[in-house]
Amino acid sequence: MSSMNWSGVFPAATTQFNPDLTIDIDASQQVLDALIRDGVHGLVVLGTCGENNSLEPDEKRTLLKAAVEVVAGRVPIIVGVSELTTTRAAAFAKDAETLGANALMALPAMVYVPTEAELEAHFRTVAQASGLPIMLYNNPPAYRAAITLGVLTRLADEPTIVAVKESAPDTRRFTDLARAFGERFILMAGLDDVALEGLLLGARGWISGLTSAFPQESVALVAAVDRGDLEEARRIYRWFMPLLHLDAEHDLVQSIKLAETIMGRGTEHVRLPRLPLAGTRRAQVVAMVEEAAATRPVLASAAAA
């Protein structure tokens, strides 16, 4: 666990598909490699943007193996653990360790809405299935299960549960978590359009969706916060905000993939039940991305060069 660096920008990378919707391993590796070359500090694979729940079990393992191969230790890889049952989640956690992941992002079991005791049991079982450090993913609007302070208190005795990805839209959670647990859990900002607020309130890093389309600006935003240049951070954030709002919408995966495509970084192919954006919504997102691309801020690193 000591080799895992939780600071900086970790894009929630997309899974790339061929036109027939089989996984395009080469394209998926190219997306990851390009993000690393643009300066991100780590990668999340098989998260929501990676369409985890649209993949077959063997596909998840194949994709993780390919990610480990192309990343080649340059940055940490966090892999999503998102399954219908706790048994499947624990099995994947164990396999992820064998395949070379650096950490796990554990979600509640899908579909079923658990009690707090059931949620605790799920996370505890996943934690005990491997030796990898675990980030719990709190996103009540999406998964209908809140990782409450009570659940975290009871899980604090699990040594591998080390971080919380906080994606609740209420930024008071960062302060409540810091007050309740001090340094026990590393906090990561997980919702793009409150990311700056999270970073200012104690998040060590940002698990980001729109970084997949605009990685350099994302890295510059966090760098500005780290050096205390809040004017620069606000300037980038305000430019970025129309796109960051997309991360909070139900069609975030299609929007992010469309943004990637416009920026020359991937394709729009998504698996059912998702469909690529169409009609008015597609035109709206295209216009937003094109506006952002046309007004990209001059970054401090570029100006210095």
DSSP labels for the chain?
A: -TT----EEEEBPPPPB-TTSSB-HHHHHHHHHHHHHTT-S-EEESSTTTTGGGS-HHHHHHHHHHHHHHHTTSS-EEEEE--SSHHHHHHHHHHHHHHT-SEEEE-PPSSS---HHHHHHHHHHHHTT-SS-EEEEE-HHHHS----HHHHHHHTT-TTEEEEEE--S-THHHHHHHHHHTTSSEEEE--GGGHHHHHHTT-SEEEESGGGT-HHHHHHHHHHHHTT-HHHHHHHHHHHHHHHGGGGSTTHHHHHHHHHHHTTS------TT-----HHHHHHHHHHHHHHHHTPPPPHHHHH-
By annotation, the residues acting in catalysis are 137, 165
Q: Give residue 300's pLDDT.
A: 78
Q: Give residue 182's pLDDT.
A: 96
Q: Give residue 145's pLDDT.
A: 87
Q: Give residue 301's pLDDT.
A: 64
Q: Give residue 305's pLDDT.
A: 41
Can you give the pLDDT of all 305 residues of the chain as single tens digits? 346 899 999 999 999 999 999 999 999 999 999 999 999 999 999 999 999 999 999 999 999 999 999 999 999 999 999 999 999 999 999 999 999 999 999 999 998 899 999 999 999 999 999 999 999 999 988 788 899 999 999 999 999 999 999 999 999 999 999 999 999 999 999 999 999 999 999 999 999 999 999 999 999 999 999 999 999 999 999 999 999 999 999 999 999 999 999 999 999 999 999 999 999 999 999 999 999 999 999 997 654 44
Contact predicate 53/303, CB 8 Å: no
Structure tokens at 291: 């506006």
